[in-house]
Amino acid sequence: MDGRLVDSHCHMSADEFAQDLNDVIERAQQAGVKALIAVTEGASEFGRVIQLSKIYPRLVFPCFGIHPLQGSEQALHSVRTQDLETVLPLFQTYGDDIVAVGEIGLDFTPWYAPTVLERDEQLMVFKRQLEISKELELPVNVHSRSAAKVTIATMKEQGIRHALLHNFAGRPSVAMEGLQAGYYFSFPPAVSRNDQRTKLIKQIPLERICLETDSPALGPEKHVRNEPKNITISCEYIAKVKGIGTEIVAEVTTQNALCLFPKLKM
């Protein structure tokens, strides 16, 4: 596929890439990827993502964010305010280096956040990071699982104007609320596995769609590590659903990413 592709949401500081990151990056570049917007999930990744942006300048663009779920895959729990408090100074220290605040958001999956108290604490952490994004004049890179409506409503209440709703799976009517607020949406290669998102992708104008992989998760095959090179699968799937050429999808989504993330320098 020709053209410049932007992976607008990936986890390059994830442990899954620790052994062969150079090879992963090389395959991404061969696939036409010109920018990797590298989000974090927890405090332990902040230093690593900055380091990667120095090793791969003008390719890896770092973000800082505390995800609504914390802990390991085997023992995830709803975020607590202290998970954010410990790293608050780092947002200011590295404000010039990061291109967005993310991955932040809400995850009301019942077994992770079963109580009102846990959901309220998630909201507090989310709102504080939205405030930081406004202070630093940065867009937000947002997770919204089982909480799409509340996530969008919260961002609108907080006056957020520049946001990417990654791997969005809310109802089309909720997506419309995000579109009216000026937000963008992105879809990983996993959407090609079933037609669940077809209606959503059809409804959202291409001018509001970005490409993402969410590497190392949400790849074209379940339980197989995803890589940024698979961004082409997202591009092809969106092109198929919309009945247009992949070159158009590549060009427009890249322009969208440059518009949403003004600090991208490709």
Residues making up the annotated binding site are: 9, 11, 103, 143, 166, 214
DSSP-based three-state secondary structure for 197: coil
Instruction: Name the phi and psi angles at 51, rounded to 5.
Output: -60, -45
Q: State yes or no: cis peptide before 16, omega within 30 of 0.
A: no
* 3-state helix vs strand vs coil in the chain, percent to 5: 45, 15, 35
Compute CA distances 124 → 114, 118, 165, 178, 223, whole Å: 16, 10, 19, 21, 33
Tokens at 147, concatenated:
């909480």
Q: Which of 45-50's residues contact partners 24+ apart within 8 Å by CB, and which partners?
A: 45/13, 46/87, 46/90, 46/94, 48/13, 49/12, 49/13, 50/94, 50/97
Q: Which residues are annotated as a binding site for a divalent metal cation?
A: 9, 11, 103, 143, 166, 214
Q: Where are the beta strands (DSSP E) in the chain?
A: 5-10, 33-38, 60-64, 69-70, 77-78, 100-107, 140-145, 163-166, 184-187, 209-211
Which H, E and C letters describe 115-164, residue by residue? CHHHHHHHHHHHHHHHHHHHHHCCCEEEEEECCHHHHHHHHHHCCCCCEE
**Contact criterion met (CB below 8 Å) for 187 and 239:** no
